[in-house]
Copies of this chain bind each other. A is one copy, B any other.
Amino acid sequence: MSDYYGTKLRLSIYGGSHDIEIGVRLNGLPAGEQIDKEALLQFMGRRAPGKASYSTKRKESDTPVFLSGLDEQNRLTGDPIHAAIYNENARSSDYNNLADIPRPSHADFAARMKYGKDVDLRGGGHFSGRLTAPLCIAGGICLQLLQKKGITIGAHIYALHGLLDTPYPLVSLTPDLLNVTKNRTFPVLSDEAEEKMKEEIEKARLDCDSVGGIVECGITGLPAGLGEHLFYGMESRIANIVFGVPAVKGIEFGNGFACAQLKGSENNDPFILKDGVVQTKTNNAGGILGGMTTGMPLVFRAAIKPTPSIAKPQRSVNLATMEETTLVIKGRHDPCILPRAVPVMEAAAAIAIMDALLEEDKWN
């Protein structure tokens, strides 16, 4: 079940990080719309590693091959979209020494407990950030479709090892602001934040260490009343897919955990009329009440832990000999995945929103 997401839209991701093929199937998209393939590749390029010193040196060719779902004019045929990515650069030998010594804060140990001794530990298998590439194919297509309906999704690095970017304004968030990071090589709003964060990443790299942070994602243009109460509320739908992205440890909507320190009279968002339209004066709710969108910008934040693959020696246990040992992880690793996580969050959000729109017959 675990590689499926969605109700009306059906997303299925397959493959492991070092398999000869990984890919995605996406059922349920409406037929007819044209996809801008060049823009899709550009979107995926934002996730791809190897662009800068803050990213792994491993070169992945993320170019998707479409087996079905697109015709020769790149229009959706109504068939499931099936896109494969062929791994051209798999190097499993780097990982051989991991077989019996689980990497701290990786999925290795839990996978071994689950699957037993034969579990394929090479590169983390399914538990790899590599699978966010097919997620971005599906999400990138949804992003284009949503944009045509006036729904804009964007994200930025909200925080990186304590350094803050300018946050999205909850009430006055605009499509233009959401689009800022799509044209920057480093996905923040503020030049100053870029400079400091890059320094921090470089410092971590030199220290053979890594750093975590928070991605903030915003959505404008949503109709009010999207989502359902209880288990199919928008928070549930979004959290479900966002926690499917490796390294996410928390999610919050609107003012999120900060609401815990407020009184009702401070946290409540009064209704006002603005240009004849009902809005809320504040948007602590982050655009969701009772599981349903309010028509205000939808904003969420996801906490992303520091990459667990660090070159520093670490304590671990040899599961074959049952002795404590010191582990040194070789290979190529990101000191910080936050820049690459930004488009992944956009993709995840787009899939969740698209699914909800289709499920509730709000697409056309």
Interface residues, chain A, with chain B CB atoms under 8 Å away: 1-5, 7-8, 10-16, 19-21, 25, 27-28, 31, 67-68, 71, 75, 77-80, 82, 102, 104-107, 109-116, 118, 120, 124-127, 131, 159-162, 204, 207, 209-214, 223-233, 235-236, 239-241, 243-244, 246, 248-257, 259-273, 276, 278, 280-281, 284-286, 288-295, 303-310, 312, 314-317, 319, 322-324, 359, 361, 363-364
Contact = CB atoms under 8 A, between A and B. Distances in A.
A77 B16 CA distance: 13
Nearest to A288: B110
Contact of A210 (B21, B241, B249, B263): B263
Contacts of A240: 231, 236, 239-240
B308 A211 contact: no
Q: Count chain B CB atoms within 10 A of each CB in A15, A115, A118, A289 and give the residue with the most.
A: A289
Which 10 pairs from chain A and chain B are nearest by CB?
A107-B290, A114-B225, A250-B252, A2-B228, A210-B264, A113-B224, A2-B232, A110-B292, A127-B290, A270-B315
A260 B304 contact: yes
Contact of A260 (B28, B161, B226, B231): B161
Per assembly, the copies of the chain total 4
B292 A231 contact: no
Contacts of A162: 260-261
Given A82-B14, A104-B269, A236-B239, A209 B124 contact: no
B310 A268 contact: yes
A317 B214 CA distance: 35
Given A68-B14, A109-B278, A265 B310 contact: yes
B15 A306 contact: no
A186 to B, nearest CB: 17
B263 A161 contact: yes
A158 to B, nearest CB: 9
B12 A12 contact: yes
B19 A259 contact: no
5 contacts: A12-B25, A14-B82, A102-B271, A107-B289, A211-B262
A261 B250 CA distance: 13
